[in-house]
Amino acid sequence: MTSADHATAGRAAAERPLTRRRRRNLLPYLLSLPALLVTVWIIIPFVTAIYYSLLRYRLSLPQLRGFVWFDNYLNFLTDGRFWYTVEVSLLYTVLTVVIELVLGLGIALLLQRPSRFNNLAAMLLLLPLMVAPALASLMWKLMTNPNFGILSYLVGLVGVTNFRWASDPSSALFTVVLVDVWVYTPFIMVLLLAGLRSLPKQPFEAAALDGVPRTFVFFRITLPMLMPYILTASLFRMLESIQQFDIVYAMTQGGPGNTLTVFQVEAYLQFFQFTNVGRSAALLMVLWAITFALSNVFVKNWLRLRERAHGAAA
Amino acid sequence: MASLALDHVTKRYGRETVLDDVSLSVADGEIVSIFGPSGAGKTVLLRLIAGMAEPEEGAILVDGSDVIDVAPEQRSVGMAFQNFALFPHMSAFDNIASPLVARRLGRDGIEDGVQKIARLLKIDHVLGHAPRALSNGQKQRTALARALVAAPKILLLDDPLRNVDAKLRFEMRLELPRLLERFGSTVLYVTQDYREAMALGRRIAVLVHGRIAQFGTPDEIYDRPANVEVAELFGDPGINLFEGHVEAGRSGMVAAVGGMRLPLAPGFERIAGRSVTIGVRPEHVGFAAAGTEGAVAARVAALLPLNDRMVRLLVTEDGRELYTSREAGGAAMEEGARGHVVADPAAIVVFDRETGRRIAPRSAGFASPALQENP
Amino acid sequence: MHHTSTGERILRGVLISLALIFFLFPIFWILLMSFQTNAQILRIPPSIVFTPTLDNYVSLITGELKTASGVLKLAFMQNLLNSLILSVASVALSLVLAVPAAYAFARYKFRFSEDIAFTLLSFKFAPPLLVLLPLTIYFQQIGLANTYVGLIWVYQLITLPLILWIVRGYFEDISPDIEHAYRIAGHSWLRSFLKISVPLAMPGIAAAALLSFIFAWNNFVFALVLASADKQPVTVGALAFVTASGIQYGQIAAAVVISIAPTLALALFAQRYLVEGLSLGAVKG
């Protein structure tokens, strides 16, 4: 190669990066832009919600509308209705997640061995998860109807007469938790089952050979190895449970007598029933702060698990 | 067909420099082996030429014009991947046909082209199969057929025999040169096997740590390796290496290695006293019952048949080990037999101990171009 | 594995049966109810032996319910149609938008790529009403309230991130060499995307489409807030139906059965992918 050739090549190399880099690197942006455009507008109502939460704003009293800074939030501090929402939401979340976790883990352990019967059972047990939660509530409403509901009849048989399920403030929470458990236990079950079946076999075989007691195997081997899955599944359920709307609203619309005013139901009522936009938005911002914190923990966990799953598959 | 040149090409991934200032010039229709240990950057080199990645610096010239801005589909390159990279959802026929489809040949043209290359590679009976239904050898031939079918200007073969069994590898090593010859493409053949590199390439580019350590004919590289590293990469058993120094002997220069005095070819007078590494290939080491002057006594420590050769491990009086290799069937030497080591002076390669680079003998009077040191 | 004794096997069997009864009985019971007349439903004690009737389904399909006090109009078929339109259109649009984006996130490490991907994911976790309530006001102003277009647009928040994250994983599993081989053979980027990448990711795309269809179908709150009666899907419509039809429990049961049948059927089809999709690929099923 002559030196003249070198010179041309060198010049070409110097000029190249500008044109080339730009053209090639545009492609990923072009591919992801449409998806982004269709979804990023969410930021507008989101910012609007932040703004609303700083307003005194009732749709029925537009003349009172005004900027009040953090009054809506400060009012919460001394507001019994707000603290009741916090209390009932947390209670709902803790009850559903704990019950679903225990049941889901139990069933997953029962079905752990991949036999044909177990796989069929796992498939059938997944069905409630496919039922729209709102429709699931409707189903349970039909079953708990005081006049003809099969469940009302059954509890009547064991001597509990006139049990009024979701229509009674004392049993309403129990009833919606029951529906939530019915719908979402399969979610935890199916995740933990996949987790259980993906665990390495050696520790269990070694333990069996050594004659280690089964309770010891469960608490010292199974549970610790399953922990990432348990954590991911329960964080995910927490995220959804604290925001639960469909089941509670479809079942009781927050009633009876405001017994079940969990966060989103309360926000819905504040907006549409009391037309108190400012208060509703502030309430949702509080909920958002909680879910944001939870989702950060969840995503970290989930990513670690996802990496592990993909790494194991590769 | 086209000439191909890499001009000061540098490729980095993050902070790691995978190819470092690589220049290489391949003539139209030439077959060049790219040989080097794994991780040397061989595959990356092919990827740059195919357009799957871009170098940070330098130019890639096809017929003299830079192709870096040319999209992969327009480079008229054929490539066979080490992992075959067959399209799993297409039949072998459709796999092979894909370059012809891209060139918008008619149905008949495609059918003809695929059948022809398939017959040549003896896979015409499995054209309807999906890749997963093919044996490894058939997969490899399908990948090769796909690379060849459109008679690309430049053919890139990325260690195509790596993932096939030994028998098939042997067959293909015999078959490939004729096949490549026939298509007349300019070929870059990547391999980790020095025998393959020597059998297939008219020239070999030895790539080590992202740099071209030597670029020359197989004989040049085998007999006159540019440095110790290259010398060690070729040959099985590997080249015998000893540390010593050059000194004047009774009839010319010798390499002094411990008590051993190995006579050197003429032309090393200027480096008398230099610390060097001496390299001599096993097939150039003799073991004679009667010792000549300076020859060192040794005994046969082990005999190992290797293919058609008999390899002997010798241990000298002062405890150095070295291999000799002779065609099998010659005078049998038993384990424990004693004799003297002799080496062909012309076959002894001298490297500078510090830099590892080969020191060429300087001939008085006539200079052979083949003996020039690599720049 | 520990060997299992007979007693333990029986215990296992009993526990699994109990679980199956608890989780399947409601579906079974509602199915029975949907074939019963009101009189049969109200009978005490309830019985699983009865002469089935198709009347409930007939009146839902014809949209007319004959009661003692006259003929009642039922809009259930419209709800069903709305569910179908909203779910199918949302999933179709999401596929067109999210599959290329998923490819970009899987193949290229470009500026902000992870940030954008996570922003899209975070939509899944935010309280929906936070966005929906201000949106009712905006939708009124720009005329998107109670339109299919507006609803399908908002439904993208459910379907798009789901498809994006599932399909991304499938694209990541395709060897880039296969795509490269196709391009070197002489095909453009677009052709290689359509002929190689998309077909090879098809199982994932199909699974993602099925799952996001189920999520869209089951959605309640979006339509509750943004749609009036004529655009409401079955989830919202069935609830309104309870009040409208008074004490016609057989029809309500039939409506529930029709409404949950599509997702249950799809779930059985896509069963293999459900785990993967539900956990966004965190667990290989």
Position of tokens 């929470």?
A173
Q: Is A4 on the interface with B (CB under 8 A)?
A: no
Across the interface, of B74, B75, B79, the residue whose CB is closest to C181 is: B79
The two beta strands, B203-208 and B65-66, are unpaired
* Cα–Cα distance for residue pair B336/B322, rounded to 1 Å: 15
Q: Return residues 4-63 of B near C (CB < 8 Å).
A: 47, 50-52
Topology of domain B4-231 in CATH is Rossmann fold (3.40.50)
For residue C156, give both structure tokens: 């993208």
pLDDT of residue B332: 54
**Helix, strand, coil share (%) of chain B residues, nearest 5:** 30, 35, 35
Note whether C131 contacts A134, CB cutoff 8 Å: no
Give me B224's structure tokens. Answer: 């006159």
- CB contacts of B72 in chain C (<8 Å) are 180, 183-184
Q: Is C187 in CB contact (< 8 Å) with chain B?
A: yes
Scanning C193-212 for CB atoms below 8 A from B yields 196, 199-200
- Give the integer Cα–Cα distance in Å for B97 and C120: 40
Residue A44 resides in a domain: no
Cβ–Cβ under 8 Å, residues C233 and C79: yes
3 state SS of B89: coil
Considering only CB atoms, C185 lies closest to which of B47, B83, B98, namely B98
Q: Do B99 and C178 touch (CB under 8 A)?
A: no
Q: A127 vs C280: CB contact, 8 Å cut-off?
A: no
User: Shortest Cα distance from A257 to chain C (angstroms)?
Assistant: 19
Which residues partner with B17 through β-bridges? B12
Check if B4-231 and B238-371 are the same fold: no
Distance from CA of B15 to the nearest CA of C (A): 16
d(CA C113, CA C91): 23
Rounded to whole angstroms, the Cα distance separating B331 from C244 reads 109
Q: What is the pLDDT of residue B187?
A: 94
CA angle B363, B364, B369 (to 5 degrees): 45
Q: Does residue A13 carry a pLDDT above 60?
A: no
Mutate to test the interface with A, among C76, C93, C114, C125 (most CBs of A within 10 A): C125
Q: What pLDDT, in 10s, does the model give residues B257-272? A: 887 888 888 888 888 8
User: How far does A122 lie from chain C, in Å, by closest CA?
Assistant: 9
pLDDT for res C245: 56
Instruction: Answer yes or no: is pLDDT of A191 > 60.
Output: yes
Percent of chain C past pLDDT 90, that is, above it, reads: 54
B47 three-class SS: helix
Highest mean predicted confidence (pLDDT) among A22-36, A195-209, B162-176, B188-202: B188-202
pLDDT greater than 70 at residue C122: yes
The two three-digit tokens of residue A163, written as one number: 């049990």
Tell me what pLDDT residue A14 has.
44
Q: Is residue A35 domain-resident? A: no
Q: Which of B339, B69, B166 has its CA nearest to residue A12?
A: B69
- Give backbone dihedrals phi and psi of B40, rounded to 5 degrees, phi first: -80, -15
d(CA A69, CA A67): 6
Domain B238-371 is of which CATH architecture?
Answer: Beta Barrel (2.40)
Instruction: Report yes or no on A46 lying in a domain.
Output: no
Q: B74 vs chain A: nearest CA distance in angstroms? A: 15
Mean pLDDT of A171-188: 95
For residue C80, which of C94, C66, C65, C60 has the smallest C-alpha distance? C60
Domain C76-278: give its CATH code: 1.10.3720.10
**How many angstroms separate the CA atoms of C5 and B375, rounded?**
80
Specify the DSSP class assigned to residue A273: T
**Window 151-180 of C, Cβ < 8 Å to B:** 175, 177-178, 180
3-state DSSP assignment of residue A235:
helix
Place B233 in a pLDDT band, splitting at 50, 70 and 90: very high
Which chains pack against C, by 3+ Cβ pairs within 8 A? A, B
In a domain, A18, yes or no: no
Residue of A nearest to B65 (CA): A9
A16 touches chain B (CB under 8 A): yes
Nearest residue on chain C to B50, alpha-carbon basis: C184
- Whether the bond between B237 and the residue before it is cis, its omega within 30 degrees of 0, is yes
The domain limits of chain B are: 4-231, 238-371
Write out the two tokens for B296: 């060192």
Number of compact structural domains in chain A:
1
Interchain pair C281, A310: CB under 8 A: yes
Spell out a b/e string for C66-80, using b for 16 or more CB atoms within 10 Å of the CB, else e.
eeeeeebebbbebbb
**Confidence bin at C42 (pLDDT 50/70/90):** confident
**Predicted pLDDT at A304:** 83
SS3 A2: coil
| Residue reference for tokens 């599959």 | C99
> Best mutation site among C174, C182, C184, C194 for testing chain B: the one with the most B CBs within 10 Å?
C184
Residue in C104, C153, C282 nearest the CB of A302: C282
Optimal mutation site among B4, B54, B67, interface A, most CBs of chain A within 10 A: B54
CA distance A126 to A124: 5
pLDDT higher than threshold 80 for residue C276: no
Q: What are phi and psi of B81, to 5 degrees?
A: -90, 155
Q: The domain spanning residue A72 has which CATH number? A: 1.10.3720.10
Residue B243, token pair as written in the block: 């540390």
Domain boundaries of chain C, sorted by first residue: 6-73, 76-278
Q: Tell which of A112, A148, A288, A295 to mutate to test the C interface (max C CBs under 10 Å).
A: A148
Which residue from C118, C163, C276 is spatially nearest to A298, judged by alpha carbons?
Answer: C118
Q: What are phi and psi of B212, to 5 degrees?
A: -80, 110
Please check whether residue A177 lies inside any domain of the structure. yes
- In this structure, which amino acid lies at residue C213? F
pLDDT digits (tens, 9 = 90+) for A217-244: 888 888 998 998 899 889 989 999 999 9
- Shortest CA distance to B36 belongs to which of B11, B19, B49, B14? B19
A284 and C129 within 8 Å at the Cβ level: the answer is: yes
Separation in Å, CA C269 to CA A123, A130, C211, C272? 11, 12, 11, 8
Q: A218 is in which domain, residue-wise? A: 55-313
> Contact A205/C2 with Cβ under 8 angstroms?
no
Which A positions 17-36 lie with beta carbon below 8 A of chain B? 19-20, 24
Cα B248–chain centre separation: 36
Give Cα separations from B297 to A217, B289, B317, B320, B321 (angstroms).
67, 9, 6, 11, 12
Q: What is the ipTM of this complex?
A: 0.91
- Helix (H), strand (E), coil (C) string for A164-216: CHHHCHHHHHHHHHHHHHHHHHHHHHHHHHHHHHHCCCHHHHHHHHCCCCHHH
Among A58, A47, A309, A43, CA closest to A194: A309
DSSP symbols for B280-348: E-GGGEEEESS--TT-EEEEEEEEEEETTEEEEEEEETTS-EEEEEEETTSS---TT-EEEEEE-GGG-
- Picking from A21-35, A169-183, A227-241, which range would have the lowest pLDDT averaged per residue? A21-35
Contacting residues of A for B61, CB less than 8 Å apart: 9
At residue B375, the pLDDT reads: 40
Contact (CB<8Å) A138/C19: no
CA distance C261 to A170: 34
Residues paired with B244 in a beta bridge: B276
Of A39, A138, A229, nearest to C160 by CB-CB distance is A39
Q: For C71-85, what is the mean pLDDT? A: 88
B33-84 residue pLDDT tens = 999 998 889 999 999 999 998 898 999 999 999 998 899 999 989 999 989 9
Nearest-Cα residue of chain B relative to residue A22: B69
SS3 C133: helix
Distance (Å, whole) CA A309 – CA B187: 41
Residue of C nearest to A197 (CA): C285
User: Residue range B303-314: average pLDDT?
Assistant: 84
B320-372 pLDDT, tens digit per residue, is 888 988 876 555 567 888 888 888 888 899 999 999 999 988 865 444 444 44
Q: Per-residue confidence at A263, pLDDT binned at 50, 70, 90? A: very high
A30, pLDDT greater than 50: yes
Both tokens of residue B328?
A: 């099998």
Q: d(Cα A135, Cα C235) in Å, to the nearest integer?
A: 6
Under 8 Å between Cβ of A128 and C27: yes
How far apart (Å, rounded) are the C-alpha atoms in residues C108 and C169? 13
- Contact (CB, 8 A) for B63 and B2: yes
